[in-house]
Structure 1
Amino acid sequence: MKISEKIRLYQISLIASMLFAFIGFAYNAWRLEVSEQNNNIRTACFEMLKELAQLEQLIYVAHYDQNKTEGSPRKGWISVGLINDFSYLTNGNLQQSARTLKTTWNDNWQNIYASTQAVDLVVKDIDSVRSEIKLLLNDLE
């Protein structure tokens, strides 16, 4: 084998090695980014689920137990606000469900002590947000 052929073979193997290294690096960087994004989504979803449970408990305490201390709407506003804020780390469908919950809470918080209909509307939206969370978590890569 001539020296020019050896140099050409060396150049081809060098180019192939660099190409594979670049592809490997690019895939690894992409995978790390997706994993980090998925981790942020999971964390936001779990925090939202906790806040949804607290909000639902608050509603039941306010309505059925008529406890205005533990069932204070101010606590509800905090939970609704956090749910809405965490939704921005997720997808559009979940953000929309969280906004709908916030609107429903805004329209009905004054009536949760006396109105079963107000309770049912808010709990329906809580369940809707939960459903969107489950769909999102199942679809993560």
Structure 2
Amino acid sequence: MDTVGVERRMKWYQATAIFSVLFALLGFTYNVWRLEVTERNSSRREASFESLLQLAELEQLVFAAHYDQDAVAGNPRVGWVKVGLLVDLSESIDEPVERAALDLKETWSRRWSSMASERESTEAIVRSIDDMRASVKGALATLD
């Protein structure tokens, strides 16, 4: 039997086995990374869409309070809940959205009591809503 040929085949088999293990490890690592990115994007996307819905509802509440003078549809306590939810959701999206949500909360806390009677308060709250909406849309555009 040819010992040189056998040794060469054994080295070839060993190299193939090592390469196969490394290739499998690399593939597994990429797959895990890709799943994590996909899950993060899915969570951010879901929080973004929910934020857009809550922003629309908050804007509707502000309009009902100011233009319709409807104390039920324009209830500021409901607005506080929506603003709080938006701040919570923003933490799951990204930093610019979180800042916009905190700005909205600040504007809301200063202006909610006069939104029904003062146009400036209504406009300031709607501007904050629009700013946050733009931030959310910007975050959605950056998803992988």
| Same fold, TM-score > 0.5, yes or no | yes
Larger radius of gyration: 2
RMSD of the alignment, in Å? 0.7
2:39 equivalent to 1:36: yes
**Alpha-carbon separation, structure 2, partners of 1:24 and 1:57:** 49
**What pairs with 1:72-87 in structure 2 (closer than 5 Å)?**
72-87=75-90
Q: Give 1:63's aligned residue.
A: 66
Q: Give 1:119's aligned residue.
A: 122
Q: Give 2:28's aligned residue.
A: 25
**Alpha-carbon separation, structure 2, partners of 1:108 and 1:28:** 49
Give identity over the alignment, percent: 40
Q: Which amino acid aligns with 2:107?
A: T
Q: Which amino acid aligns with 1:111?
A: S
Aligned partner of 2:131 among 113, 128, 138? 128
TM-score normalized by the length of structure 2: 0.96
Q: Which amino acid aligns with 1:56?
A: E
TM-score normalized by the length of structure 1: 0.98
Q: Which amino acid aligns with 2:45?
A: R
Structure 2: gaps (5+ residues)? none
**Alpha-carbon separation, structure 1, partners of 2:138 and 2:86:** 17
Of 64-73 and 1-10, the range deviating more from structure 2: 1-10
CA-CA distance at 1:2 after TM superposition: 1.3
Q: Give 2:104's aligned residue.
A: 101
Aligned partner of 2:13 among 5, 10, 19? 10
Aligned partner of 2:113 among 110, 113, 132? 110
**Alpha-carbon separation, structure 2, partners of 1:70 and 1:123:** 16
Structure 1: gaps (5+ residues)? none
**Alpha-carbon separation, structure 2, partners of 1:53 and 1:25:** 42
Aligned length: 141
